[in-house]
Amino acid sequence: MTLLSRPKDPGAMSDVRVRFAPSPTGTLHVGSARTALYNYLFARHHGGVLVLRIEDTDLKRSLREHEQSIVRDLHWLGLQADEGPDVGGRYGPYRQSERGPLYEAGVQQLLATHSAYHCFCTQERLESLKAEQLAAGRMPKYDRLCHHLAPEVVEARLEAGVPATIRFLVPEGDISFVDLIHGPITFSSDVIGDFILKRTDGGFAYNFAVVVDDAGMKITHVIRGEDHITNTARQLMLYAALDEPAPRYGHHSLIHGPDGGKLSKRHGATSIGEFRDLGYLSDAVVNYLALLSWHPGDEREKLTLDEVVEGFDMSRASKSAAIFDLDKLNWLNGLYIRALTAADLSEIVRPYLREQGLEFAEGQRQVVAAAIQANLVVLEEAPRYARVFSDDLVITASTHLAALDEPGVRTALEAARERLSRAEGEYFEVDEGRALLKDVVDACAGQGVKGKAIYKPLRVALTGLDQGPELFYLIAGLGRSRIVARLDAALAYLEERSA
Strands 183-188 and 174-179: antiparallel
50 touches 43 (CB < 8 A): yes
316 touches 306 (CB < 8 A): no
196: which strand partners? 167
338 touches 375 (CB < 8 A): no
- The predicted pLDDT at position 375 comes to 94
Rounded to whole angstroms, the Cα distance separating 149 from 119 reads 9
- The predicted pLDDT at position 411 comes to 87
Q: For residue 203, give every residue at least 6 positions away whose Cβ sits within 8 Å of its Cβ, in sequence order, or none.
A: 57
Closest CA to 56 of 95, 100, 84, 89: 95
Q: Can you point out the beta strands (E) in 303-390? A: 322-323
From 8, 60, 265, 456, active-site residue: 265
117 touches 145 (CB < 8 A): no
53 touches 19 (CB < 8 A): yes
- The predicted pLDDT at position 405 comes to 67
4-45 residue pLDDT tens: 444 454 444 459 999 999 999 889 999 999 999 999 999 999
- The predicted pLDDT at position 11 comes to 43
For residue 8, indicate whether it is catalytic.
no
- Tens of pLDDT along the chain (499 residues) come to 344 444 454 444 459 999 999 999 889 999 999 999 999 999 999 999 999 999 998 777 878 899 999 999 999 999 999 999 999 999 999 999 999 999 999 999 999 999 999 999 999 999 999 999 999 999 999 999 999 999 999 999 999 999 999 999 999 999 999 999 999 999 998 889 999 999 999 999 999 999 999 999 999 999 999 999 999 999 999 999 999 999 999 999 999 988 877 776 666 668 999 999 999 999 999 999 999 988 887 788 999 999 999 999 988 888 888 899 999 999 999 999 999 999 999 999 999 999 999 999 887 999 999 999 999 999 999 999 999 898 767 666 555 556 676 778 888 889 889 998 888 888 899 999 999 999 999 998 888 888 878 888 888 889 888 788 999 999 999 989 999 999 998 888 888 777 6
- The predicted pLDDT at position 492 comes to 86
Q: What domains are defined for the chain?
A: 2-255 (3.40.50.620), 265-338 (1.10.1160.10), 342-386 (1.10.8), 397-498 (1.10.10.350)
Q: How many CA atoms lie within 13 A of 361 on its CB side?
A: 14
Taking CA 175 as the corner, what is the angle to CA 171 and CA 178, rounded to the nearest 5 degrees? Answer: 160
Residue 223 CB-density burial (10 A; 0-12 exposed, 13-18 middle, 19+ buried): buried
176 touches 3 (CB < 8 A): yes
Rounded to whole angstroms, the Cα distance separating 54 from 217 reads 13
Rounded to whole angstroms, the Cα distance separating 273 from 70 reads 9
Q: For residue 327, give every residue at least 6 positions away whose Cβ sits within 8 Å of its Cβ, in sequence order, or none.
A: none
